Amino acid sequence: MARVLLILPTTSYRVGDFLDAAGALGVEVAVAAEEELPLTGLDRFVRVDLDKPQEAAAAVIALALTTPVDAVIPVDDRGVVVAALAAEQLGLPHNPPWAAAATRNKVMMRRALERAEVPQPTFRVLGPADDPVGLAEEIGFPLVVKPLSLSGSRGVIRVDSSSEIEAVAERVRQINAVACHDPSEPLLLEAFVPGPEVAVEGMLDGGRLEVLAIFDKPQPLDGPYFEETIYVTPSRLHPEIVEEVVRLAAAACAGLGLIEGPIHAELRITDGRPRLIEVAARSIGGICGRALKFGLLGTSLETMILRQALGRPAHHPDVDRGASGVMMLPIPSAGTLREVTGIDKALATPGIRSVEITSTPGTYLLPVPDSDRYLGFMFAGGSTPEEVTEALTEAHRHLRVEFDPEDPPIT
Give the tens place of pLDDT for each residue, 214-233.
999 999 999 899 999 999 99
Whether residue 249 is contained in a domain is answered as no
Whether residue 225 is contained in a domain is answered as no
For residues 281 and 136, what is the distance between their CA atoms, to the nearest angstrom? Answer: 29
For residues 128 and 136, what is the distance between their CA atoms, to the nearest angstrom? Answer: 14
In CATH, what number is assigned to the domain containing residue 135? 3.30.1490.20
CA-angle at 227, arms to 223 and 229, nearest 5°:
125
Dihedral, CA of residue 179, residue 9, residue 279 and residue 147, to nearest 10: 0
Domain match, 355 and 410 both: yes
Domain match, 149 and 66 both: no
Query: Could you tell me the CA-to-CA distances from 302 to 264, 272, 296 in Å, in that order?
Result: 14, 33, 16
For residues 376 and 355, what is the distance between their CA atoms, to the nearest angstrom? Answer: 8
Q: Are the C-beta atoms of residues 298 and 289 closer than 8 Å to each other?
A: no
Is the pLDDT confidence value at 263 over 60?
A: yes
Domain match, 13 and 88 both: yes
What number of CA atoms fall less than 13 Å from residue 140's CA on the CB side? Answer: 5
Bridge partners (DSSP) listed for residue 30: 5
Question: Where does the pLDDT of residue 173 fall: very low under 50, low under 70, confident under 90, or very high at 90 and above?
Answer: very high
Question: Where does the pLDDT of residue 314 fall: very low under 50, low under 70, confident under 90, or very high at 90 and above?
Answer: low
Bridge partners (DSSP) listed for residue 14: none
Mean pLDDT value of segment 9-20: 81
Whether residue 132 is contained in a domain is answered as yes
Question: Where does the pLDDT of residue 286 fall: very low under 50, low under 70, confident under 90, or very high at 90 and above?
Answer: confident
> Which DSSP string corresponds to 181-249?
S-TTS-EEEEE---S-EEEEEEEEETTEEEEEEEEEE-S---SSB----EEEES--S-HHHHHHHHHHH
Domain match, 179 and 146 both: yes
Whether residue 278 is contained in a domain is answered as no
Which pLDDT score is estimated for 265? Answer: 98
Out of 157, 191, 225, a domain closes at: 191
Question: Where does the pLDDT of residue 149 fall: very low under 50, low under 70, confident under 90, or very high at 90 and above?
Answer: confident
Which pLDDT score is estimated for 349? Answer: 98
Out of 140, 166, 191, a domain closes at: 191
For residues 136 and 142, what is the distance between their CA atoms, to the nearest angstrom? Answer: 9
Is the pLDDT confidence value at 14 over 90?
A: no
For residues 282 and 80, what is the distance between their CA atoms, to the nearest angstrom? Answer: 7
Out of 154, 172, 191, a domain closes at: 191
CA-angle at 51, arms to 187 and 63, nearest 5°:
150
Question: Where does the pLDDT of residue 11 fall: very low under 50, low under 70, confident under 90, or very high at 90 and above?
Answer: low
Which pLDDT score is estimated for 318? Answer: 56
Mean pLDDT value of segment 120-125: 97
Mean pLDDT value of segment 93-115: 96
Q: Is the pTM of the predicted complex or chain greater than 0.85? A: yes
Question: Where does the pLDDT of residue 39 fall: very low under 50, low under 70, confident under 90, or very high at 90 and above?
Answer: low
Mean pLDDT value of segment 177-186: 89
Average pLDDT in the chain: 92
Is the pLDDT confidence value at 194 over 70?
A: yes
Give the total number of structural domains in the chain. 3
Domain match, 343 and 407 both: yes
C-alpha 354: how far from its chain's center? 21
What number of CA atoms fall less than 13 Å from residue 289's CA on the CB side? Answer: 29
Helix axes 106-115, 239-256, angle to 10 degrees: 110
238 burial level (CB within 10 Å; 0-12, 13-18, 19+): exposed
Whether residue 146 is contained in a domain is answered as yes
In CATH, what number is assigned to the domain containing residue 22? 3.40.50.20
Structural domain range at position 49:
3-102
Q: Are the C-beta atoms of residues 188 and 110 closer than 8 Å to each other?
A: yes
Q: 306: which residues sit within 8 A by CB, 6+ positions away?
A: 4, 18, 21, 22, 25, 27, 71, 73
Which pLDDT score is estimated for 315? Answer: 53
The widest CA-to-CA distance across the chain, in whole angstroms, is 61
Whether residue 363 is contained in a domain is answered as yes
Mean pLDDT value of segment 260-267: 97
Domain match, 16 and 83 both: yes
Mean pLDDT value of segment 45-62: 94
Which pLDDT score is estimated for 35? Answer: 84
Whether residue 74 is contained in a domain is answered as yes
Give the tens place of pLDDT for each residue, 359-378.
999 999 999 999 988 999 99
For residues 329 and 47, what is the distance between their CA atoms, to the nearest angstrom? Answer: 31
DSSP-based three-state secondary structure for 154: coil
Domain match, 12 and 94 both: yes
Lowest average pLDDT, out of 33-42, 106-115, 212-221, goes to 33-42
Bridge partners (DSSP) listed for residue 246: none
Domain match, 333 and 404 both: yes
Percent of the chain topping pLDDT 90: 81
Whether residue 15 is contained in a domain is answered as yes
Tell whether omega for the bond before 313 is within 30 degrees of 0, i.e. cis: no
Domain match, 86 and 146 both: no
Domain match, 332 and 384 both: yes
Dihedral, CA of residue 384, residue 390, residue 395 and residue 400, to nearest 10: 140
In CATH, what number is assigned to the domain containing residue 354? 3.90.1170.60
DSSP-based three-state secondary structure for 177: helix
